[in-house]
Structure 1
């Protein structure tokens, strides 16, 4: 049986006006507040890929935030995928 505090991993692709509006830095701050590790990276197609590892409730909270993003961003779509835990798990939350 799994516990709500067990670590899970989720990857999102966030589309819209999400590059050049502090989306990655804001995502990093939101993830760190929730104790998540992972990354937020710009993609060549103009989207941002976010990968996060942590408790399911924290991932759900981050997903809600990603749907809105920071001021100045316009989020058109958020695609989410549950993924296997990375081995090794990420240390900290980075932008790139």
Structure 2
């Protein structure tokens, strides 16, 4: 994972989360985690039933939220997550789109 995290102790990643992740408060739960870890980004439902998540912040915080993406909300069931480097700017704060 370290190779995706970038330099300057900052990381920006694009994640696609697959499984039972819509209609189960998954995005709201991830937003709460992100805000507590001072991570910027967003979570958005996609038409294919997955959730797109962009996270940006300190390496240590991004590592923590990557683990929490697997945990999700109490009613979610994550089957897989794809992770790629994100190179675009990320607005401050964490938003549900």
Q: Same fold (TM over 0.5)?
A: yes
Map Cα deviations across residues 52-71 of structure 1 (whole Å, 9 max, x no partner).
Answer: 11011111110101012110
Q: Please give the alpha-carbon distance, in whole angstroms, between the structure 1 residues aligned to 2:45 and 2:16.
A: 10
If the length of structure 2 is used for normalisation, what is the TM-score?
0.88
Number of corresponding residues: 91
- Stretches of structure 1 that go unaligned for 5 or more consecutive residues are none
Kindly indicate whether residue 69 of structure 2 is the aligned counterpart of residue 45 of structure 1.
Answer: no
Q: Please give the alpha-carbon distance, in whole angstroms, between the structure 1 residues aligned to 2:66 and 2:58.
A: 13
Q: Please give the alpha-carbon distance, in whole angstroms, between the structure 2 residues aligned to 1:67 and 1:80.
A: 12
If the length of structure 1 is used for normalisation, what is the TM-score?
0.89
Map Cα deviations across residues 17-52 of structure 1 (whole Å, 9 max, x no partner).
Answer: 000000001010000100001000000000000001
SS at match of 1:76: strand
| 1:7 shift after superposition | 2.2
Where do 4+ consecutive residues of structure 1 move more than 6 Å?
A: none
SS at match of 2:49: coil
1:14-53 matches, cutoff 5 A = 14-53=17-56
Q: Please give the alpha-carbon distance, in whole angstroms, between the structure 2 residues aligned to 1:25 and 1:9.
A: 20
- Stretches of structure 2 that go unaligned for 5 or more consecutive residues are 1-6
Aligned match for 1:80, one of 61, 83, 88: 83
